[in-house]
Chain A
Amino acid sequence: MADHADGIGGLKYDRSKRAWPNEMNIFIALVLIVAVFEALGQILPYMDGQSFLFDTNDRFDTIFNEARLRIIILQVAIIGIISLGVTQVIISGGIDLSSGPLTAATAMIVMSFAQTELVNGNPNPAAVFGPWAMDLPVIVPVIVGLCFGAFIGSINGSLIAFTRIPPFIATLGMFLICRGIAQWWTRGQPVSFPTEGYAWLGSGMMPVIWFVLLAILCHVLLRYTVYGKHTYAIGSNEDAARMSGINVKRHKVMVYMIASMLAAFAAIVLSSKNLTAQSGMGLFYELYAIAMAVIGGVSLQGGRGSIIGTVLGAMVFGVIQSGFTYVKLDAYFQIMAMGFIIISAVVLDQWRQQRAASRS
């Protein structure tokens, strides 16, 4: 069959005109952004010639400034995990606004099953439950968290699939419900002092390892399984998907469940990393997760995007954040500039899409 690779029915297929993968554009953008910060470091007078990327002070064995790179990937890893799920929701033609507050609610609940009984020989001052919930094996809070995520996700998905209310409204409602749950759980008190096993989950570079593992898993799901193919099909043309015999409703519930379980897992890693859970945590995470996906080329109209794109989008997000700090941009301007960058990413992508469409 190899001789058919050049088109069938006698039509020539020009390999040089093969579609340029969208992910390459994002990668190039990432490299350019790093280069711009590197250049700014040399140009701006108050920077004393510091390097953004390279190790100029000989603090590390490698040529790179490892500390900065580490901070960048650690910063994006947890929101990145949420973004992996949000990517799937957006590809299926939906949106999930509830992931940030879900992170907070899950962290609060999970943490109360992960506490130690004694802190420095004294009873845990932040104890939520009695002794029965103390010093449980680490698998217990993890399962509680994933179940809670699956539960919230199935409500999101069922609302959207069966009552046909727009995903924006359904998940906006869930946004408030989850924030409410997070505050009600301990009446606003933080939950602290996890077991050693639980603290390990988010210690050191563990968040990055989880992010990479889950990204690989999600990539395989979307690219190589029936689940992924149907997710793209539903986002691309829901009527066609339904007419093809795909159970669109059940599939949507599944997509939202997976997204919420990923957000719940992010909550586990986050609370473990911080060694505490607070009802206010995860602020703007839902928006940052959407932003990472969108920067990574996921189309809000559905049907288009990839996990590789989202991972690169997360890296762009992290590099820009770190770069702003590096050039000592005022924190207030940083948030504004972030908004500006998200808008430009979408405008650039649409412009590129239109150009590609008019060329073919």
Chain B
Amino acid sequence: MPLSSLFMAGRFSQMTSYFSLAYLAGFLPLTIIGYSIVPKKMKKYFLLLCSYAFFWFISGKLVVYLALSTLSVHYFGIWLARIQLQRDEELKHTEKENKKALKKCYLAKQRRVLLFAAVCSFGVLLYLKYTRFFTMNVNAVLAHLHLPLEFTIPSFLVPVGISFFTMQAVSYLFDVYRGTIEADDNLFRLGLFMSFFPQIVEGPICRYGETAGQLWEAKGISYANLTMGIQRILYGFMKKLVVADRLNPLIQTVFQNYTDYEGGVIAMAAVCYTVQLYMDFSGTMDAVIGTAQIFGITMPENFQRPFFSRSISEFWKRWHITLGAWFRDYIFYPVISARPMKKMTTAARKKIGNHFGPLLAGAVALFCVWLCNGLWHGAGWHYIFFGMYHFALILWGNIAEPGVKWVTGKLHIPTGHFLYRLFQIVRTGILVVIGELFFRAERLKAGFVMLRSMITDFHFTTLDKALLSKMGIDAYDLLIVGITLLIVLAISILNEKGIKIRETLAKQPVVLRWAVLYGLILFIVIFGAYGLGYIPVDPIYANF
């Protein structure tokens, strides 16, 4: 289902893309100018106002979901804080021997409130995003059983970014519950944390402790932050406009008509999609983090050169980092540290040893994480398969680790050697591409058909000028994509080696700095895929 038909109801829905003309040439500059003009005390309120205005522009009346979510989270946070306050007060007047029981009692109380709050937050998300999928599957089962019953498949307008702000809301409540942060009694500060416009569409999923304070501090715009922020936005613009959008026709054509193409072409499209997804999402993150930097806010990074990963497990520590961290902190740890899991680990350690013992409970927690990860990306069996695929790979990686160590040791394979590391990187890349193939496929069955074709029919006999033209691109497009990827690769290698390019560039003479910026802008203007004949790809992660 196209993004526009499911999400958004605002008049300026094109602003959902941070690279749209309306956003870059309209909303953002006006917000920067307004923010610079308003008095220091009012800046934070201005930012809040702009954030709500932005959400209203893209989502129209659906802004009410964001407002209600913020109100409820604020209320639940205060409720949790009150329980903690009551507990502390009572603890002061309680005998030492009774303190444990009292703490336990209050913990149970807090848990009930937290559970209720999480159910409320996730309930809305689940209802809006998954009722349709659930009903369709129920209908399929009923049809399979030849029962004369069919439920109407509902269709809802889902506000953009609901998955992102719901996760921020729940993380806030969890952190208040754990005592990591104090509940915020200021509704506006919490509101700004929940709605800050650059991150509301595609994240990153921020923690209250990381960004709320910075946002509320509302520093003025400094020249250094402004230029560095613009520079980062431009870098993201290049990734999106030159690579992601240019590859779009090829990907759309092959994935929609996969039965018409041989395995080699399908493999090429799967690689292109993986590149597109990375360029689109990381490019958007560059724009988000760059925009936040203009306002003096440091946002958490969401990508750390994921294609240099040597294992799937490492890949997910470098790709969509804030989502992975959220699942780790709020699903993996709570599941693995639950009492039955601890008992299971202790028993398993005794029977199967210190390596494999904890793996059992780890596998349960990992399963929960990857089921949620798959479902978070969308309501579809191919998403669930995508999650389970990564669950299986990571679990296998954990199980096989001692075996691999033993084999490499016995065969005297130098695991630190460049070639071995390159082999691991390529292997991880191939596994990622297969995962993304299922992720992008229209349905699970289509994913399997494409994978089978890649394995049994892998050749490029029909790949020529005519086929490229049929796929909506030409050799020049591939050339420019290749050059851009080389630029991104070179920058990534330098970053990986700890060389901070932007900081290094900032120290150079003004002529050189400007020349680099002019070059980047001209590169985007000339080689960007926009205008007549191009259809920009919808912000992919705004769908989730």
Q: Do A and B come from one complex?
A: no
Q: Give residues in B with beta carbon < 8 Å to A.
A: none
A residues with a Cβ closer than 8 A to B are none
